[in-house]
A and B are shown apart, each in its own frame.
Chain A
């Protein structure tokens, strides 16, 4: 597992490109899921801000200015689509990517999210490896862009 630890450290640093830990925002109303994902991300060395209410999500995102927002679709207060639209409409959040993570994995939802400019789309349930791998990939891509 030493191999893996080394990887984690590397990725975390690569994620920011500045040696700072990656900042993630998790918008999820299901406490159990939020706890599981937070654990996974924190284990990677990323900072995670959890928001459980849709209505409060956009303010949290603006405040945190995360690298990636992991966004649930079915939320109390405000739907994931609306939050996605808000994020994409906000120029100060241009560097923020959105990973939509939803139990509603129908093609319709995927298309709609794509139309709104979502960066990645994953359905629940997911494998931890896949989720972490996807986020890592997104972080690396963003880092390359900023460096290049």
Chain B
């Protein structure tokens, strides 16, 4: 009897030792040292996670209960490894080539990357592994109890019970620490593998030590020991019955399909050649570990009290002989078996759960919400860790619900039957090209349902609670009785469950596969998997061929557009000398296509998409993660692109506007030249005609002669004025104006303008001026007066009232805190039509019917001048007549008015 704290300390110390092993191995691997970590021997030893606490303790129990039956559990895997060249080599090759992360990944990938299949396999393996993990927890707890108090519940039972929880928690910690260090499922877990290899050695040594002690120390040597086996009746009876065959099949299936076996065998495989070593070394390991099972069983039956739990002989025999040290060693062996299994199984399952269930769901949700993808790696890490916790919690829960009552062996076998449901789909995946996704789904679903109904649910011991009475069948339906399905009479529930689940699984799988057709990707993947050993060139030709070309064209069209895709394919076909425009998907063409697609959707996505069709390399998690990352980039990029194209569109619009403005300016220039030409020709016409007349001039009367001379003079003046105006306007427009700013009273300027525009005596227009005397402007007075004159003389010329009157008034304005001076000229004529009010400021525009003598430049010049002075001039609707308004900057304005800015060239 040992103290709990001593045992706990030993167990804890052992775990710490494992931590150190894992840590050093991981560091060594990271630093590139310790190449031997990846040797065939470590690989072989890591395979020994097949031997869990079940084999460590339960084999003896199995031998006691079923004689040689237990051998089947070792024989199945051994057969599989002997046949490694046909099965394992293929699985490892496929796993490596397609970068598969789990058994679920393999099956889903083979059947067209079916997400449904992946989820289904994940659920089945999760259900099957849960009792298995419970089994490990139970064995650890049991061994604790035994070492503390001998068999049965002692005073320390309570701490031992809660022990399972602590063990689960500790394992979760270890697994999270070393199992989720790197997010990439394909990256190997050197630390974990090394720890497992060490544990493999410990458990083998422990069992051998106990065996040697039992044979030589307790049974008097090999001879008597063998005799005792015969006496105990352990080798009697026909072991090769239905159950033996069933277990042989189950164990062989398990080594192929158990998630943890796939993890160490395929995922952690560093070199395919390691398999050749493992092919004989692993069966040897199994042989050694099973070597002393029968002697220990016989000794236990002979030496221990009747009713002793044969599952614990490995511990109780040394204890009975007073060898507590040996018992402790055996305990560590069992502990090793349990922990290594739990760690690897949990890693494998967590990978499946996070990759096949959580990540797709999350990505789908995010996609639906339209949110950005974010850091998928962080998410993966988190889901892996949560999955590990969840899986261990499930195992612990199952342990608590099943009450730890079920015998170790039966718990293990329940799990095996569940795992065996994967076998038809797995074997089909590897060897039967015609197997379809629908077939795999049908087989897996039916098989799993029957397994759950006939074995898994009954093992929970809750059937009665569910109201489904096992004896009479659910709702009294006899043929649904869990242990006598369809009224069959198979005594052994295990064989019963296996037979029925397999019949339905295989039947549904084969029939559905025959009845359904491949989708294109399934077809490709099927060929990829089944013909994995063919050369790449051949695979491409065979696996894809013309069908793949069509798919590739579809894909290319969707991404590149019809035209570009068509051109690409035609060119490739031409280069290959094909007349039909459909190139053979040679590696060269596929690579070229991938490059073209990558330009649009990014390399990873392109690779993933093309690979889906052509095969070659499969779409791995990294591809997806990279694709997700690229998607984010592409989204950002396209957002930027949109921004850019919007800017581009704006620029284009501006350019168009500028061009149109230029066009207008050019047209205006033509019109202007034509106008000038007209304006010059008109006075010159009369000057020339009259001058010619005067030249002849013999019979002209003097009055007429004078009159003609007068017209010539007036027209010459008009010409000169026109040229002056043009020059002035040109100077103003080019901004080459020198403003002579000076202070002047506005009233004075108005008076000057009136006097100049309306010489005394000829005044037709009556002018009234109302300008505050204190209004002083800082302005170019000459030019402003010129503007005033223009407006006043226009009023005189065009005001058509009977008694034409012009009102000139000025006022201060304060708008938006800016002071301005507003000068209004308003006559009492018929005014200017609204449509003309803006036009009259254009060059050469004269309002029809006025018969004016000007060239129509006056107001254009006025506007230029006012703007140079920093003001505005406009024509408004007056009370009745025309109203011109000039607004100028503040009194005593700063010299640099806006329009006198350097850009306009004002000096």
Residues on A lying within 8 angstroms of B by beta carbon are 1, 29-30, 32-33, 35-37, 39-40, 52-53, 74, 76-77, 103-106, 123-129, 131
A126 touches B685 (CB 8 A): yes
B848 interface residue, CB < 8 Å from A?
yes
B690, A36: Cβ atoms closer than 8 Å: yes
Alpha-carbon separation in the docked complex, A35 to B688 (Å):
13
| Set of chain A residues within 8 Å of B674, measured between Cβ atoms | 104, 106
B170 CB to closest chain A CB (Å) equals 100
Contact B693 A124 (CB under 8 A): no
CB-based contact B685/A30 at 8 Å: yes
* Cβ 8 A contact of B686, one of A1, A36, A123: A36
Q: What 10 pairs across the A-B complex have the smallest Cβ distances?
A: A32-B686, A103-B681, A36-B689, A124-B685, A125-B685, A125-B688, A103-B678, A128-B692, A33-B686, A76-B848
C-beta contact mask, B659-698 vs A, less than 8 Å → 1, else 0?
0000000000000001001110111111111101100001
In the complex, which range does the number of interface residues on chain B fall in?
20 to 34
Can you spell out 30 A-B residue pairs with CB atoms less than 8 angstroms apart?
Answer: A30-B685, A30-B686, A32-B683, A32-B690, A32-B714, A32-B715, A33-B682, A33-B685, A33-B686, A35-B686, A35-B690, A36-B708, A37-B689, A39-B704, A77-B848, A77-B849, A103-B677, A103-B678, A103-B679, A103-B681, A103-B682, A104-B674, A104-B678, A125-B684, A125-B685, A125-B687, A126-B688, A126-B689, A127-B688, A127-B692
Q: A35-B711, A36-B690, A128-B693 are in contact. Are A29 and B685 (CB under 8 A)?
A: no
- Asked whether, in the complex, the Cβ of B685 is within 8 Å of the Cβ of A1, the reply is no
> Chain A residues with Cβ under 8 A from B682's Cβ?
30, 33, 103, 124
- A103-B681, A104-B677 as given contacts; A76 in contact with B849, CB under 8 Å: yes
B851 and A76 contact, CB distance less than 8 A: yes
18 additional contacts (CB under 8 A) given A126-B685, A128-B693: A30-B682, A30-B685, A33-B682, A33-B686, A33-B689, A35-B690, A36-B708, A39-B704, A52-B851, A103-B682, A103-B685, A123-B681, A124-B682, A124-B684, A124-B685, A125-B687, A126-B688, A128-B692
* A105→B714 CA distance, assembly (Å): 24
**Residues of chain B within 8 A of A32, CB atoms compared:** 683, 686, 690, 711, 714-715
Whether B818 is near chain A, meaning CB under 8 Å from some CB there, is: no
Neighbour of B850 across the interface among A52, A76, A129, CB < 8 A: A76
**In the bound complex, how far is the Cα of B708 from the Cα of A52, in angstroms?**
19
Q: In whole Å, how far is A51's beta carbon from the nearest beta carbon of chain B? A: 13
Task: State A76–B711 Cα separation when bound (angstroms).
Answer: 21
In B693-746, which residues have CB < 8 Å from any A CB?
693, 698, 704, 708, 711, 714-715
Q: Which residues of A contact B704 (CB under 8 A)?
A: 39
Contacts of A127 in B (CB 8 A): 688, 692
Q: Which residues of B contact A33 (CB under 8 A)?
A: 682, 685-686, 689
**In the complex, which of the residues A30, A37, A53 contacts B849, with contact meaning CB atoms closer than 8 Å?**
A53
Partner of A40, one of B678, B693, B715, B849: B693
Question: How far apart sit A74 and B683, CA to CA, in the bound complex (Å)?
Answer: 14
Contacts of B683 in A (CB 8 A): 32
The reply to whether A36 and B693 contact each other, CB–CB distance below 8 Å, is yes
**Measured CA separation A143–B686 after assembly (Å):** 30
Bound CA–CA A30/B677 (angstroms) = 15
Q: A8 → chain B, closest Cβ, in Å?
A: 12
B698 close to A1 (CB less than 8 A): yes
